[in-house]
Structures are given as C-alpha cells and as structure tokens.
Amino acid sequence: MNKFLTILFLICTECLILHAQKIQTPTEFLGYKLGEQFTPHHRVVDYYQYLATASKNIRLNEYGKTNEGRPLLLAIVASANNIGKIEDVRKNNLRLAGIINEPSATDQPAIVWLSYNVHGNEAVSTEASMQTIYDLLDPSNQRTQLWLQNTMVIVDPCLNPDGRERYVNFYNPVRNLVPDAFPFSREHFEPWPGGRANHYYFDLNRDWAWQSQIETQQRMLVYNSWLPQVHVDFHEQGINEPYYFAPAAEPYHQDISKWQREFQTIIGKNNARYFDKEGWMYFTRERFDLLYPSYGDTYPIYNGSVGMTYEQGGSGRAGLAIVNADGDTLTLKARIEHHYTSGLATVESVSQNASKAVSEFKSYFETSKANPPGEYKTYIIKGENTEKVKTLATMLQRNGIEFGYGSAKGASGFNYVSGKKENFKVEKNDMVITAYQPKSVLLKVLFEPNTFISDSATYDITAWSLPYAFGLPAFATSENLKPISSTSPEVFSTSIEVSNPVAYIANWNSLSDVKFLAQLLKADVKVRYSEIPFETGGNRFNAGSLIIARTSNDGFGKGFEQLLKSLAASSGVTLQAIPSAFVDKGADLGSDKVRLIHKPKIMAVTGESASSLSFGEVWHYFEQQIKYPLSIVRAQDMGRINLDQFDVIIFPDGSYPDPGSEKIQEWVRGGGKLIVMEGAAAQLAGKKGFDLKNKEEPKKNEKDLDPYGDLKIYENRERESVGANIPGAIYKVNLDNTHPLGFGFPGYYYTLKLDDKVYQYLDTGWNVGVLKKDNYVTGFVGAQAKKKLVDGLLFGVQEMGNGSVVYLADDPLFRGFWENGKLLFSNAVFMVGH
Ligand SMILES: [Zn+2]
C-alpha cells in the first residue's frame, strides 16, 4: 500500500468510527426541529427503531398493540457494561423484591422508568421523550454516560398512541400555517371526545390497578416483570399552570414509606435546581395527592417504587403556541424543554442515589413480606360465586398478588357485609390471601375496608375496596391463615352427564353468565329465564337463571350439545343438564313464570352531549366484555331514525337535547326499553310522562343553625367547599332481587356514589334499588351530602304502556372495574321488561 492509499484508508476508517458513534438527533432524523410540529406516532416509532439500530446501548421491545393496531414500545437504555446484562438485572431486581425466591445481589444498577403521554392530548410528552432518549444515548454526552454507569433507564415513549393520534390528527388539519397563539382560535379547541382517553374513551391514568384496557394489560405485564425503583408519569395541566413536580400533595396513603417521601423531595429539589437556573416557574406539594391506587404515581408507589407525576402547563388546548392568562406565549418548544429537563434531572438524582435506592427497594419488600402493614393479615373471599371469584383471581394475578384457597382452621374477623367482627369458617373453595407476601402494601390498599384519609380534599374517589367493588362476601382477620391449595378446587363442569336432557341451566350471578347469554343470543339459541328461584337435582338456581330447552332449539340438530358446551367453556360458565321439566321446588319449566329472552337490538346514544367516559364504558362493555352488537347513534340524529328497529335505547351519562322526547315515549309505550344513566336520568326527573322526581334538599333544624354559620375564613375556602362533596364513596343499596333488575344479587348491591343524587321513591314504578338510613359503607362523604343520601331511589323501573324505563342514578360500569355493577347493567339490558 503506498503512502497516499494508507492515508486515505486511515481517514476512511476514522470516518467510519465517527459515523458509527454519531447518532442522529430527532431534528436531524425527522427533518424539522422538535417543537415545530407534532410528530405523528408512526414517525416516533421510526425514530425509536432507528435508535435501536444506530446505538449499541438500547434494546427496543414492542410489548403490544393498541385497539387501533398501533405498536406499544419500550426502550431500555444502559451503559456498554450493563446492556448485555439486562435480563440478569431484571431477574435480580425481582429477587430483591422477593418475587423470585432466590438470593439477590445489591450491586445492581438502579432502574428508572419514564412513562410518556398516557393522556393522548398532553402531546408534548412523546416529543420530549425523543430528546431525552437521544441525550441518554449520545456517546459524547459525558453527564448522561456517567449516570448510566449505575442507572438503567426504561422509556415508554407513548402509553396511549390511539388517543395521541386523535389529538395530532385533529390539530394538524386545522392549525394556521403560522400557529395562532390567540387562545380562542379554533386550533385550541378539540372536538368531542378529545384525545385524552384511549380508543374506548377510558382514562388510562385511572386504570393501572384494574387493567380493564388492553394497553394497560400489556404494559403491566412488562412493568410487573421489572418493578423499577423510580417511575415518572409525564402529563400536562392547564395552560395557566406552569409546572408541577414532586413532592406530591396530601393526602398521602398512610403506607407510603419514609424513603418514598424523602426521595420524592430529593428528586424534586434537583428538578428545582435546573428550573431555578432557567428562571422557570413551578409548584410542588399541591393538588396531586397520593391515594387512589390506579394512577401512574400511586400504583408504582404501592409496588415499592418512588412514583411521581410531572405536569407541564399545556395539554389539548395549547397547540404549538398559545397566549396564557399572564399574557405570556407558551410554546411547544418550551413545553418540550421543561419535560426534557425534569426527565434528565430525575435520572441524575437516581444515579446520585443509586445504591441507596436499590437497598431501600430491597428493604421495602422485606418489610412488606415479614411485617405487612395494617391490622389485617389475611383476607378471605367466600367462594360460592365461583365465576366472580375467578374474575377476581385474574385481577390479582395481573397485579402479582399471591393467593390460595381453603384453610385448615376458621378465624374471627371483620365481615365486610355486616360491618361487624364475627367468627367464620373457611371452606375449601374460599379464596385466602395472606398479607405475608411481597405485595402486601398493594394488597392492603386494594382490600382494606376503610381507606385512611389524612385530608378530605382529594383528586379522586376515596373508596374502592375490592370485596365491595366485586360484591363478594369477605372477611378480614388479624390472624395469619395459610391457604391449603394454590388452585381453586372448583372445577368448571361443562360436562353434561344426563342422557337426553330436557334442558341445560346456567345460574345467573356474574358477568360470565352474561357473556354466555350474549353468545347464545348471537347464535340464535332460544334462551329462557325463570322469574323465581327453583331447585332441581339437588341444585338451587337463582331467579334469572338461564334455561336452554331442547325444544325450541330442535333446529340445531345433533351439534347442539357441543355448541352449548363450547360456548359455556369459552364464557367460563358452569352448565347443568336436567332430565325433567318437573322441578323439585319453584316453577316447572313450562310455567308462564319461565320467560323467553328476546334477542335485543340495542342502540347507545352518543355525541357531544354524552359524557365520553360514560359512553366509552357502555361501548367497551358491549364490544370487549360481552361481545354483543351495538348500534351507536348521535343524539342529534335520533329525530330521523325509525326507532322501531330497536328494542333497547341506552343514554349514558350526559346532558342531551331531549332524552324523553314524545317520539321516544311513544316508542317506549309501543314496547321499547329506555335505559337512562346518571345525568340522563336526572334530565327526566319531573318531566311529563316520567315518574322520577327529585328529592327535596334536607331541611336544616332550627337548633343546627349557627348564627355565625355564614362567616367563612378566606383561607379555608377549599376545605369548606368539600362539605357538599362526595368524591366516590360506597353505599349499600337495598335491592329487590325478585325484580329482574335485581336478579342474581343477594338482596343488596354496593354502589359507588359519585354525587349526592338520590330520587323520591317511585309512586307507580318499581323501587328496585333504594337507600335507607345507615346505608353508608366507606369513603369520604361531605356532611351535607351525607344528610341527603338517605331514604330514596337509585335504581328503578317504570312501566310505560308495553315498554319500560330503567333509571340508573349511579354508574354501574365505573371505569370498567366495578364488577358488581356489570350484572346490574346486564339485568337492565337483557332481563327487564319481558
Ligand atoms: Zn394527564
């Protein structure tokens, strides 16, 4: 090789090395500066995929897909030393937590997890994630490369791609060429339903524990296989708020550890240092509390992490630039800068405290397992309703909570139903959950009958105890009971032993039964229900139990039994074959008390007047939970539709032009069934033709009147306004379970009260679910609201001509996790009015 060639070769080798190390910035890759426009999700995916090929220090995983088919990504960033050991670190971390029962090493990197854009229209977050991960990967960035020596960073660039794309696809077509900062220009107003929620309009930042949505289900599978030491959930708030970061506001749940409090402050102060340097405003310790367990800050906290919410001013209103109340122009560029700065400052704090974070994490789980918090050490769920217990088991498994069944001995403890301390036996199919396990804090938070509240001003509901949410009889005891078996002894029997049976029966007491019914109706199987309970062959069946008679279904021929078996199995239902229509007790199968269930054509009303969350719950229930067809109609189109094509019309919570129009009333009188929920029910109160009436406000007693009662202290204004509040408390509703709306329930129903709405008893209709005195169970209720919530109607049915109107004053489908309410709603849809 001559000298010239040698030089050329050297230069080229150097070029190659330089080229290999140089990673394109988001600006270089995307072709525009971050902040100049919103990046569509597929381009975000492109950039992350590019990084995965351009850098050796990243592992990119697609952990799932959204309802609309967009990929969900997770990028793990680690130093050259650690990148090859990702799987070892992950496993060791689970050993530290006691989830994997093997000896652990404490000299592992700390893990920090950054979650972006759970609310789709808080669209800055994903943009900021790209700049953040670029800095973490940039080999010339000495600060980040130093942090990565003892810290691993997991980045989820977008938790809610469907919602974010709804926002971006709204914004791009309506924006001015030069973004218009005038706050009332159209680019600052998203159309209904906005981009905040996911495809089914669920708020994914209320879903971490319940995991009703597929995005959450897929993400939590990975999250629980890691359990980071620190988790940040990036959000946006109103345009007039500057920035919020930890430490969080009161109330804190009482089981948040000293270290979790301390480290929030350490991280917050480090964020503040960078913000102060730039002169950026922020606030801490206000508004965002740590109580409700299904957020991106609390859920990680109850799982041993330091979980935090960061809120940039902006969100769906902000566009690319907007003038705020102070007359300042807030730009996307500035919003990116802030989230990027707090993200990196957090990684720095974690790195500076990495070994402490890891050892505190270890001791958190050791304490959780050896010395679980709270007075109750075992929770016992009675096993009679095997299908509902199975649903609960799935939820516990998803959260990594261990459980078993049966116990060698009985105990005494708190009875969730009576609210008293009682002795009880443990049957072999009762679920037994001991608190002596790594996830004891989460277990306590989800099961404790009363949530301790240090401060009544909270951001969300104050009661969610799972035995009530599921409507399952349960006990909590201070004794440590060990389960006998790790699996349920109850085998779902879909085997049909009887030869030539006259009918097959499924009890009616869980959503599984509803799924089964929905599949039968879709397959055009004729199904009946018994209006009264009955006994046959040693089994007792509730009113509402499904009866599938051989007669009426002759057309299916020989394959019928196989069809029933497979539908029962896929729905998780126990099916019983009976040899005779002559029953031991109750009505024989040919009685007129055994009614045919018509296959209903169902319409749900939606549009701008509907609450998107409430409508989304109805939509998700039909499409994803019971898989039954639903027509979705905008309220403004009701006038030009022939309603006779439908059997059921549902108005979710909302404020509609006229949910009780003459046209709708005429359709009801002709045999239709109108289901009105919450606000829609309220709209019919006092309206001509409807029996529903508002309850009068409770009168104040003369002696209660304080002559100075109207004098208020200005500083206490927020506290005092909570008197009328009810931010989600549980009440026990007396339920008439002989009425089809109450089928499958034990005579009571636990409702989640989100407001102080209660109605007068219906004069002529059926008062199926009512509040009496002393029906309060748990959760915060302001003093005025508590006075009002006695002696009134919550769930009722009015007969109107040949049809009926079902009033549901509360939301039985709340956030898709109020398992107890799904049966109530199903009764309204399928059982009422035959
Ligand atoms: Zn948010």
Residue 131 has pLDDT above 70, yes or no: yes
> Nearest CA to 810 among 820, 798, 799, 800?
820
Mean pLDDT of 747-769: 95
Task: Give per-residue pLDDT as tens, 582-603.
Answer: 999 999 999 999 999 999 999 9
Ligand 1 centre distance from Cα of residue 550 (Å):
54
Indicate whether 5 pLDDT > 80.
no
Task: Provide the 8-state DSSP code for 759.
Answer: B
Give the pLDDT mean for 637-663: 97
- Distance separating alpha carbons of residues 375 and 645, to the nearest angstrom: 57
Q: 241-278, pLDDT tens digit by residue?
A: 999 999 988 888 888 999 999 999 999 999 999 999 99
Residue 525 alpha carbon to ligand 1 centre in Å: 45
Q: Coil, helix or strand for 596?
A: strand
**From the CA atom positions of the chain, what is the Rg in Å?**
29
Average pLDDT over residues 128-151: 98
Residue 291 banded pLDDT, cuts 50, 70, 90: confident
* Centroid of ligand 1 to alpha carbon of 204 (angstroms): 9
Tell me the CA–centroid distance for residue 478 and ligand 1, in Å.
Answer: 38
CA-to-CA dists, residue 518 to 75, 358, 526, 825, 826, angstroms: 41, 50, 11, 14, 10
- 3-state SS, one letter per residue, for 291-355: CCCCCCCHHHHCCCCEEEEEEEECHHHCCCEEECCCCCEEEHHHHHHHHHHHHHHHHHHHHHCHH
- Kindly report the number of other CB atoms within 10 A of residue 560's CB atom: 16
Percent of the chain scored above 70 by pLDDT?
92
Evaluate if residue 831 carries a pLDDT over 50.
yes
Q: Give residue 403 CA to ligand 1 midpoint distance, Å.
A: 33
- Rounded to the nearest integer, the mean pLDDT of the chain is 93
In this prediction, residue 728 has a pLDDT band, given cuts at 50, 70 and 90, of confident
Residue 413 has pLDDT above 70, yes or no: yes
Residue 394 alpha carbon to ligand 1 centre in Å: 28
Neighbours of ion ligand 1 (CB under 5 A): 119, 122, 235
Distance, CA 119 to ligand 1 centroid (Å)? 5
Provide the pLDDT for residue 488. 76
Calculate how far, in angstroms, residue 789's C-alpha sits from the geometric centre of ligand 1.
Answer: 32
pLDDT value at residue 16: 45
Half-sphere exposure in the Cβ direction for 495 (13 Å, CA):
3
Give residue 208 CA to ligand 1 midpoint distance, Å: 14
Give the per-residue pLDDT at 251: 80
**Range 451-476 average pLDDT:** 85
Q: How confident is the model at residue 457 (pLDDT cuts 50, 70, 90)?
A: low
More confident position, 17 or 78: 78
Asked if residue 251 has a cis previous peptide bond (ω within 30° of 0), the answer is yes
Q: How confident is the model at residue 493 (pLDDT cuts 50, 70, 90)?
A: low
pLDDT in tens, 170-189: 999 999 999 999 999 999 99
Q: For strand 110-116 and strand 71-77, is the pairing parallel, antiparallel, or unpaired?
A: unpaired
Can you give the pLDDT at residue 710?
67
Distance 238 CA to ligand 1 centre (A): 10
Residue 622: pLDDT band with limits 50, 70, 90: very high
pLDDT of residue 15: 45
Average pLDDT over residues 119-145: 98
pLDDT of residue 188: 98
Tens digits of residue pLDDT in 220-240: 999 999 999 999 999 999 999
DSSP summary character for residue 641: S
Give the mean model confidence (pLDDT) for residues 9-36. 74
CA of 303 to the centre of ligand 1 (A): 21
pLDDT digits (tens, 9 = 90+) for 85-97: 999 999 999 999 9
| 309-360: pLDDT as tens digits | 999 999 999 999 999 999 999 999 999 999 999 999 999 999 999 999 999 9
Question: What was the pLDDT predicted at 305?
Answer: 98
